[in-house]
Amino acid sequence: MTAVLERTGTRAPAGLRTRQIHAVAACYFVASFAALGLPPYLTAILPSLGDTEARWAGLLYIVPTVFGALGAPLWGRLADRYGRKRLLLRAQLGLAVSFLLAGWADSLPAFTAALVLQGVLGGTFAASNGYLAAALDGHRLSWALTLMQGAARLALVAAPIVVGSLSPWVSPHRQYALLAVLPLAAALMLAALPEPPRPAPPAAGTPAAGEAEVPAARSPRALYALEFAFVLATVISYPYLITLVEQRLPGLGPFASGVLFALPHMCYPLLARPVHTAVAHRPLLGAVSGFALVAVALAGHWGAGTVLSFVALRLLLGAGMTLGLVSLSALAADACRGRGPGRMFGTLEFISKAGAVVAGAVAAVSNDVWGPAAPIVAGSAVAALTALVSTPTLLRWSR
């Protein structure tokens, strides 16, 4: 491992090994299962709580996201002050408590309160990234953040399938309580990991012993803007894609529609490593290229009318999403150097969740006015505009 670190120009602080990085990513994956797998079944859960027509499903879908966004910056600052491991454990235990309360809620207000707590007490993504950023830097940190995104994509694909498979035996409502065991197990695993070291900063203008001088980190403002635009451009296409596929390909069936939905997310585990190798040292170029691919792929949905065309466009979208996500991870690794990682990743999670909330609202409005293809085309426009606006910055950074 020492030879690898010398080649990449980074160091591994004492006590944090590759298997421990994998453990953090695995804990995020299992903790994300209920958070990502159960919201699609809100329309099946709410009738048993008194909302017979599930009219509140759309609003409740974003409740954890909204309150997670509001709480993330605070938890990030507390992590920098009191320790990243403590706040990561707090996030996992907070999820477990909120899932238990949601699973045993017997009324709509109680269930809503549990979802609010899920948002306020969660924040496992920012907490996990803050933990990793406190112990890693450079190439190893950008790859660790890429692994975290892979865990999120895998949970997004697998969780709804598992929840649906369990539904004949355990209702999605009660599965909240059942799946609370996952963040509890994650907390037990994380308890065995070390607290990231807090090395004293070297004297001004003097690199630490044995290290090459590292360039000053760029401002995170560009990262925040790109994160918001990327989430907005991609998430806006999620809510009504199945409806669009059913309109264009009647008789295809829900399983095949679900596979088309999941195809872009399946690309990430396959492409993340080679993409990371290609863009780790030129992340803005990777991000702009990712936005361009996303724009082309989403625009193509407007005229898609065959299974083959949808498959090709979904795979192209997956390539663009992988480029964008990996490049954003590399930009985040660069931006957090010399800053409190908890605070920065807390702010980044706030930006990301704000983008998701705006995307949901815009998707709902545009679908009501122009139909299910409109949100996808809107996502294409956002991605294309971001690529164009970012190009001058790319040229300036390359110089």
Number of helical (H) and strand (E) elements in the chain, helices listed first? 17, 0
Q: Following DSSP, what letter does each residue of 307-370 receive, concatenated?
A: HHHHHHHHHHHHHHHHHHHHHHHHHHHHHTTTS-HHHHHHHHHHHHHHHHHHHHHHHHHHHHHH
pLDDT for 197 equals 62
pLDDT for 16 equals 66
Distance in angstroms (rounded) separating the CA atoms of residues 67 and 89: 19
Are the CB atoms for 72 and 10 separated by under 8 Å?
no
* Residue among 50, 60, 42 nearest 175 (CA): 42
Q: What is the pTM of this model?
A: 0.85
Please compute, for residue 15, the number of CA atoms within 13 A of its CA located in the half-sphere on the CB side: 12
pLDDT in tens, 245-274: 989 999 888 788 888 988 999 999 999 999
Distance in angstroms (rounded) separating the CA atoms of residues 165 and 38: 12
pLDDT in tens, 77-108: 888 888 889 999 999 999 999 999 999 999 99
Question: pLDDT 10s digit of each residue in the chain, 399 long?
Answer: 333 333 333 344 444 688 889 999 999 998 888 888 888 888 889 999 998 888 888 788 889 989 998 898 988 888 888 888 999 999 999 999 999 999 999 999 999 999 999 999 988 888 999 999 888 888 889 999 999 999 988 988 888 888 888 888 999 999 999 999 999 999 999 998 888 765 444 444 444 433 444 444 567 899 999 999 999 999 999 888 988 998 999 988 878 888 898 899 999 999 999 999 999 999 999 999 999 999 999 999 999 999 999 999 999 999 999 999 999 999 999 998 877 888 899 999 999 999 999 998 999 889 889 999 999 999 999 999 999 999 888 777 665
